[in-house]
Amino acid sequence: MDNVDLAIVGAGIAGSALAAALADTGLSVVLIDKRNSPLDTARGDHIQPSMLDVLEKWGVLDRLIKAGAERRHGTRWFDAAGHKILSVPVPEGELRHPWFLFLNHELIGNVLMQRALEGRLQSWSGVQRWHVERNNDKWLLNFDLADGTRIARRATLLVGADGPGSLMRTRLHIETTRHHYQYPIAVLYGKARELPEKRTLDVHLTRDRMVSLIPRVQGGSKIGFPIDASELSHWRSLSSADICATLRAWSSAIDLTEAEFGAIYPPVSLSTAPWRGLGPAVLIGDASHAMHPARSMGMNTCFRVAEQLRQLLQPLASGFLQADATAILAHFEDTFRPELEQRLAENHAAGVQMDTLNGEGFQALSKKLEAVKGDNTLLTAMARNAAGLS
């Protein structure tokens, strides 16, 4: 039976990001996933400027660009009448890459996985069943493939990256705090009639609900807004022309030539307590900190966590001891968890703000944005926060 340094359960963005981050460390990793299909394209696909240096350090940034990633230059906010309230730029002078980068979610995952495979990675997808237990100061991971083959690996450090419904979290009995938002998020895909030279994420505070137009590669847009469950069949039945007309009626600044319904997501805010049981283990990604998609922080937080763990693990040689991993995770929890909790709280506040079908024009938020426009200090702070610098 092979021994490895890390076993990662879940090969989504969080699991593949950690594996990619560790590709040059010499550490051995086994990565398993039940999924045997591409990642969901409707999920987050915008990378904060502050994370671009991190991805460059992992050897990933140039690959994302070659895969077709494009630049986004800040965020614009519009009121219910379609008038621009505020433009939030990317801060200048403190970033080597002063822009957001966006690429379809599944392509980001592919790039991360390709980089991870250049390290000491053993990877299996389409896993049918898996089981983990403690065995002689190691984690014993058993899993079955579709053809009936059973594989076993012994790992020093166990990482759960298997999403908001994490079986790893359940099997380790890790305490969870969860908030289900009232309204699911509808995701549509379309194309704007006119594209600015520098693309932006546009947030429209329409009469009743907040609508986000998120840039997609090759001139596309992803449109997200809350709906009542009773509206689902209506949106699915609308023609492209009717969708465009409905959105334009909500705000004259939403001007699309085509649109189609994509998916619906029930957003959830989730945070977990640190693992305090026998043996070094940690949850990352949605298994640890599922977020509302309002501010596109989920994927970027995955990158932050992966980089923190990489920095702590990099000094260790392959074959490190349980005590080494336990000390590293204790330091990780003490230093990074306060920052993570702050980001979760900020994201939750944004999610609550969006979770309404009766925004009445979001007058209080509009006034706040107007105040930011007239105060350079506030605008700079908002821009730094959006870029991931604070």
The predicted-structure confidence for 348-366, as pLDDT tens digits, reads as follows 999 999 999 999 999 999 9
Check if the beta carbon of residue 155 is closer than 8 Å to that of residue 5.
yes
* For range 252-263, the mean pLDDT: 96
* Angstrom distances, CA of residue 281 to CA of 73, 313, 319: 38, 14, 16
Is the confidence at residue 1, as pLDDT, over 70?
no
In percent, the amount of the chain with pLDDT more than 70 equals 98
Is the confidence at residue 65, as pLDDT, over 80?
yes
**How many CB atoms within 10 Å of residue 13?**
27
* Structure confidence at residue 339 (pLDDT): 87
Check if the beta carbon of residue 287 is closer than 8 Å to that of residue 10.
yes
**Domain boundaries for CATH 3.30.9.10 within the chain:** 185-266+359-386
Structure tokens that stand for 194 in this block: 């006119």
Tell me the average pLDDT of the chain: 94
Q: 241 CB contacts (<8 Å, ≥6 apart)?
A: none
Check if the beta carbon of residue 101 is closer than 8 Å to that of residue 64.
yes
* Structure confidence at residue 294 (pLDDT): 79
- Please give the class, per CATH, of domain 2-68+103-180+268-353: alpha beta
pLDDT band at 36 (very low <50, low <70, confident <90, very high): confident
Greatest Cα pair distance, the chain, in angstroms, is 66
* For range 48-70, the mean pLDDT: 97
Specify whether domain 185-266+359-386 bears CATH 3.40.50.1110.
no
* Structure confidence at residue 40 (pLDDT): 67
Tell me 28's DSSP state.
E
Beta strands in 116-208, from DSSP E residues, in sequence order: 120-124, 129-135, 138-144, 150-160, 176-180, 185-192, 201-205
* For range 161-182, the mean pLDDT: 94
* Angstrom distances, CA of residue 26 to CA of 16, 45, 320: 16, 29, 11
Q: Is 347 exposed, middle or buried (0-12, 13-18, 19+ CB in 10 A)?
A: buried
Is the confidence at residue 183, as pLDDT, over 90?
yes
* Structure confidence at residue 297 (pLDDT): 87
Determine the straight-line distance between the first and last CA of the chain, rounded to whole angstroms: 45
C-alpha span between 268 and 359 (Å, rounded)? 20
* Structure confidence at residue 104 (pLDDT): 93
